[in-house]
Amino acid sequence: MNQPVPLIQLIQGRLESGDVELPVFDGVALEIHREARENRLDAEGMCKILEKDATLVSEVLRMANSSFFSGLGEVRSLQEAVVRLGVRSIAAIVFSISQKRLYSASGGLFRSRLLTLSQHASAVSTGARWTAIRAGHRAIADEAFVAGLLHDVGKLSLLRIIEGLIEDDGLELNDTMVDMTLGNLHCSHATQLLEMWNLPEIYRDVVRRFEDEEIGEKDTTLAIVRFVDKVCAVEGISDLPDPTLALETLPELGILGINEIDVAELRLVIEDLKGESGGQQAA
């Protein structure tokens, strides 16, 4: 248990000295999310911001036509996508695209870990949105989606810092030491990142309290993300897979009011996502 302590101290030392390159979230995504949460965006305003980034436009159209967000016919233009799906859903899609950019920005020693984390975050976000709707919380479905995207962002940043320590200082680390360090620091570090990005308190609360032993009846978004995270672990789309988890015993089920049928259907959703991510990785 004492092995990761020196590594933790090195990481904290770098953070305190400012000698690290923390991930920078996409400015367009942050602007859109902030304006959407404050109800200051209509379809025209959303399109004007999105048009600053041609890649975002094409990715928004691609995702708007995906099986998860579509269902009303082909979306052919950005304006149509925003009108049909709504400003908040488009803001969530933009966040998803920007999150993928964060995870793909590094091709170093932990490339495989980052790919796994990216796939896990994507699965948790999709599952969280599905669960929010199924549990009767459609009003927070997009919020749950974004919270799912962000819940492990501390691990992303810490892996990059550890990469730097290995390259600069020649540290020799095994997977167990890295895993224990991520486990000790990722919640507090994610909270710092979300504060730096000036994201809403609901997301900071989710990452800050993600591993708390107990949560309350009103912690709906946190309960959703925690539960879907566990389902992903059972289905093997996780950096910490655990097929032995007894999902039916988790307290989040009681908070959300979902039953065994809901759990089984969610597992099918996650299983489908696992197949999609496996195919993308092979490609």
Query: What CATH number is attached to the domain comprising 117?
Result: 1.10.3210.10
What are 43-102's pLDDT values in tens digits? 889 999 888 888 888 888 887 887 666 555 778 888 888 888 888 888 888 888 888 888
pLDDT at 283: 39
Whether residue 121 has pLDDT greater than 90: yes
Task: Return the higher-pLDDT residue of 30 and 153.
Answer: 153
pLDDT averaged over the chain?
A: 87
Handedness of CA 133, 136, 139, 140 (dihedral sign): negative
Q: What is the mean pLDDT of residues 191-215?
A: 93
| Residues 90 and 112 placed together within one structural domain of the fold | no
Q: Which amino acid is at 133?
A: I
| Residues 175 and 71 placed together within one structural domain of the fold | no
CB atoms within 10 A of CB 195: 12
| Residue 150's pLDDT band (cuts 50, 70, 90) | very high
Residue whose pair of structure tokens reads 């036509």 in the numeric block: 65
Q: What is the mean pLDDT of residues 276-281?
A: 53
pLDDT at 86: 87
| Residues 127 and 267 placed together within one structural domain of the fold | yes
| Residues 120 and 180 placed together within one structural domain of the fold | yes
Q: Give CA–CA dist 192/242, Å, rounded.
A: 28
pLDDT at 5: 45
Count the domains in the chain: 2
Residue whose pair of structure tokens reads 């092995």 in the numeric block: 3
* Domain hosting residue 30, numbered range: 24-104
Query: What global pTM score does this model have?
Result: 0.84
